[in-house]
Structure 1
Amino acid sequence: MSLGKSIYELTNLFTIYRWNNRPALLRFTEADNVFHSLILDLISIEYLNKKGYNLPISSNIKAKIFKELPKIILSDVSLDTKKRILEKDEKMWKMVLKKSYDELKENKIVQFFESDYDIKFKKYAQFIDLMVSLKEMEINSRIFPEYFEGPKQETEKNLRKLRLNLEHINELESILNYVLKTSTRLTTMYRWNKNHRNVKSSVSSHTFMVVSTAIIFYYLDNRNNDKLLDEIIIASILHDFPEAFTGDVITPTKKKVKGLENIISTIEEEMIEEWLKRDEDTILIFERFKKYMINPFDNEYGRYVRASDLFNAMLECAIEIKSGNSQILFREAFFNMKKELKQFNFDFIYELIDEIEKLTFFN
């Protein structure tokens, strides 16, 4: 399987909806869910490092993505079903995961993410995954308590157990809840909003793809610079976070009148500052991250983030075209972004673009 096709298959997580056997007010896709865990993982690592933990960013973020890759094959298995499988035969579930990873060996992206959580961070990562699941349940249980109250109570119970063994968890959890309340807005924002979509992608699911692809681009470019990889990951995770405040102002609107783009950037910065000032603990954690939110495409790390952002916008166009969406917009955008991507002069980009083009128009 070509690398381009492997990246294309990662977009399967756009169409795997969680809690699919229950009515829901808001459905998170697997891609949405991973994004929220990634941003909370990043914040937790920063917080714990300020407490002297010395946790690496890149290996822990890659470990989260690696953990989710079997869902490309398995789709979503609910927490309740998975729990019951583990109770009946834990070895059986481990065999299912092993077989899935074996199948994924044909998928070339696996090699870029194979990583384990730092032992000191693993339980925090489990706590964060449960927090994100609980957020989904809390939203939906307001309308459908008869379907969500049971799993909600079970998740709250599991969170209470984990809290007993996690240092600094009260202050950290407060920060994470503050951020999650805001990042959830990105799941309700759909890209290409004024156009019909056959396969919808939210800002949060798009961000998950940008993070994943930016990591792949870093390795394809044969870089060996841990600080650069960390910066690429931070900027990728946060590059669209300001849209939680401003909404999705599309590029043609920003460029409609000279100077409007600069005004919007100023507004983004003002809104971020106002949001941070409303929570003193959060502002301390974000002091290092703020520049990556406001200027995600600056400096060396920005080349990878911007290229990944464009590549995934092109990929979204490819999905629409391949699914039979006949709007000319998606064809025009596909070829405009193809042209723009080639200007980055990454040696690997030409072959990837060709692979996506063949998948879109000739398969």
Structure 2
Amino acid sequence: MDSAFFSMIFRMKYITRWGLMRSSYPETLSEHSMDTAVLAHALACIGASRLDKPVDPMKAAVFALFHDAGEIITGDMPTPIKYHDPQITEAYKRIEAEANRTLFSMLPDDLKPYYEPVFHPAKEDEAYWQYVKAADKLSALIKCIEEEKSGNSEFKDAKAQLLSMLSSFDLPEVQVFMQEFLPAFSKTLDEQSRE
């Protein structure tokens, strides 16, 4: 049986993010997904090691790898449009869910159980999706910081909004990450190397 699932997943590298913004460098969905996976893993590691939470960082990372997979089919909907109106938001969620169902249906039946939690989240995995949601916002914030470092002020408002969102997250892991690891993203390579 021929399956297009993985060839579709590998198309993430063709989907560009931040379509309404002038970027110093383009960011693909593939890059964003990897960054989000690294961050979700880090947040879950902080939760497990410092806050004694019963979480598996590997599971958080895998969920994050596929968190925007539906955008292979839908493309990246800019945030100001996606959340401008509740009806648009609801319609986009339905479209996103259908895109995820389409991708999932491309898997051979024997592999579906392994991908089921990724494409059809269960209630008991809600904590992991909170890590993914926070990591998604942290990834966007880091993009804003990197653009700012490049002299691009286009991301100034997005950065302020993301900082506000992240400060209201009910996850102590996010605050730990922001205090301990986020400042290094504003430094040059030489400054980071001296620490």
Give the TM-score taking structure 1 as reference length.
Answer: 0.45
Partner of 2:111, secondary structure, is helix
Q: CA deviation at 1:181?
A: 1.6
Q: Which residue of 1 aligns with 2:164?
A: 339
Give the residue type in structure 1 aligned to 2:160: F
Q: Which residue of 1 aligns with 2:90?
A: 262
Partner of 2:18, secondary structure, is coil
Contact 1:341 1:349 in 2 (8 A): no
Give the residue type in structure 1 aligned to 2:133: R
1:191 aligned onto 2:20: no
Q: Which residue of 2 aligns with 1:293?
A: 119
Q: Structure 1's 292 and 318: CA in aligned 2 closer, same or farther, altered over 3 A?
A: same
Contact 2:83 2:89 in 1 (8 A): yes
Q: Structure 1's 274 and 293: CA in aligned 2 closer, same or farther, altered over 3 A?
A: closer
Q: 1:240 aligns with which of 59, 65, 68?
A: 68
Give the residue type in structure 2 aligned to 1:256: H
Question: Relative CO higher for 1 or 2, CA cutoff 8 Å, sep ≥ 6?
Answer: 2
Give the CA RMSD over aligned residues. Answer: 2.8
Q: 1:303 aligns with which of 130, 144, 158?
A: 130
Q: CA deviation at 1:287?
A: 4.1
Q: Which blocks of at least 5 consecutive residues in structure 1 are unaligned?
A: 1-170
Contact 1:190 1:201 in 2 (8 A): yes
Q: CA deviation at 1:269?
A: 2.1
The CA distance in 2 between the partners of 1:280 and 1:215, in whole Å, is 25
Count matched residues. Answer: 182
Give the residue type in structure 2 aligned to 1:181: S
Partner of 2:140, secondary structure, is helix
Q: Deviations over 1:250-284 (max 9, x none)?
A: 2221222222222222122223333444x461x54
1:326 aligned onto 2:184: no
Contact 2:142 2:185 in 1 (8 A): no
Which of structures 1 and 2 has the bigger CA Rg? Answer: 1
Give the residue type in structure 2 aligned to 1:269: A
Q: Which residue of 1 aligns with 2:42?
A: 216
Contact 2:24 2:152 in 1 (8 A): yes
The CA distance in 2 between the partners of 1:280 and 1:193, in whole Å, is 30
Give the residue type in structure 1 aligned to 2:54: N
Give the TM-score taking structure 2 as reference length.
Answer: 0.79
Q: Structure 1's 357 and 289: CA in aligned 2 closer, same or farther, altered over 3 A?
A: same
Q: Which blocks of at least 5 consecutive residues in structure 2 are unaligned?
A: none
